[in-house]
Amino acid sequence: EVQVVESGGGLVQPGGSLRLSCAVSGFTFSNYWMHWVRQAPGKGLVWVSRLNSDGSITNYADSVKGRFTISRDNAKNTVYLQMNSLRAEDTAVYYCARGGGLGTPRGFDYWGQGVLVTVSS
Amino acid sequence: EIMLTQSPGTLSLSPGERATLSCRASQNVISNYLAWYQQKPGQAPRLLIYGASSRTTGIPDRFSGSGSGTDFTLTISRLEPEDFAVYYCHQYGSSPPYTFGQGTNLEIK
């Protein structure tokens, strides 16, 4: 059974930092792209970042570029999102999701339960 | 960046009725890499359809996707009580950003 579990959320002051973790199991983690998607309270889904299977390719939404860093540890089956210089508008539930693997991309087929990040003084 | 526009914003129907949700892209979606997700309050999104028309394992056959290029449709043939939720379309083709539509809220009439 595939499991995706995020952790590391919480309340942080504007300008602060937070690192989210996403631990996965039930599939060969090192074969898949991984993504972070966020959802502000009462709003829609917004793609944040992606990382390829070996961690050599990363992409970011313009809104987080230069402030967020995605990374992975394939030995630990974990993907991370380091968030620096946080702003109030970064307040959201952050989801980790599995992307494409060895075959044809199938969208984001497995998601974690999400972790809430609140940026407020 | 490909913009996705979903319509209607809210759809009010009764169980047993047919639901038709639309998603229009601002430019062609590469290889029809268009997905549909269902999201219920307090839950993560769930993938229903990928590649515009392929159902994910475990999704009932009352859900179907169609379309190509810039116009896509999610159809729910006969609504069950558990189908009332928010639905998002999502393009995951070629290069990021991988945009989502703003969502259609399917509510009970």
Q: What is the pLDDT of residues A55-106, one digit of tens each?
A: 999 999 999 999 999 999 999 999 999 999 999 999 999 999 999 887 788 8
Report, as an integer, the average pLDDT of A106-114: 96
Whole-number Å distance between alpha carbons of A33 and B103? 25
pLDDT for res A105? 86
Report, as an integer, the average pLDDT of B8-27: 97
When CB atoms are compared, the residue of B46, B92, B100 closest to A46 is B100
Task: Please confirm whether the linkage preceding B8 is cis (ω < 30° from 0).
Answer: yes
**Does B94 have pLDDT greater than 80?**
no
pLDDT for res A16? 98
In this structure, what token pair is assigned to residue B12? Answer: 């009010």
Per DSSP, the three-state class of B28 is coil
pLDDT for res A39? 98
DSSP state of A30: G
Return mean pLDDT, chain B.
Answer: 96
Chain B residues with CB under 8 Å of a chain A CB are 33, 35, 37, 39, 43-47, 50-51, 54, 56, 88, 90, 92, 95-103
Per DSSP, the three-state class of A101 is coil
Nearest chain A residue (CA) to B50: A106
For residue B20, list its beta bridge partners: B75
Chain-chain contact of A50 with B98 (C-beta, under 8 angstroms): yes
**Does B61 have pLDDT greater than 90?**
yes
- Choose among B34, B25, B31, B18: nearest CA to B4: B25
For testing the chain A interface, which of B3, B54, B92 should be mutated: the one with the most A CBs within 10 Å? B92
**Does A12 have pLDDT greater than 90?**
yes
DSSP state of B52: T
Tokens 């973790």 correspond to A21
Contact A105, B33 (CB under 8 A): yes
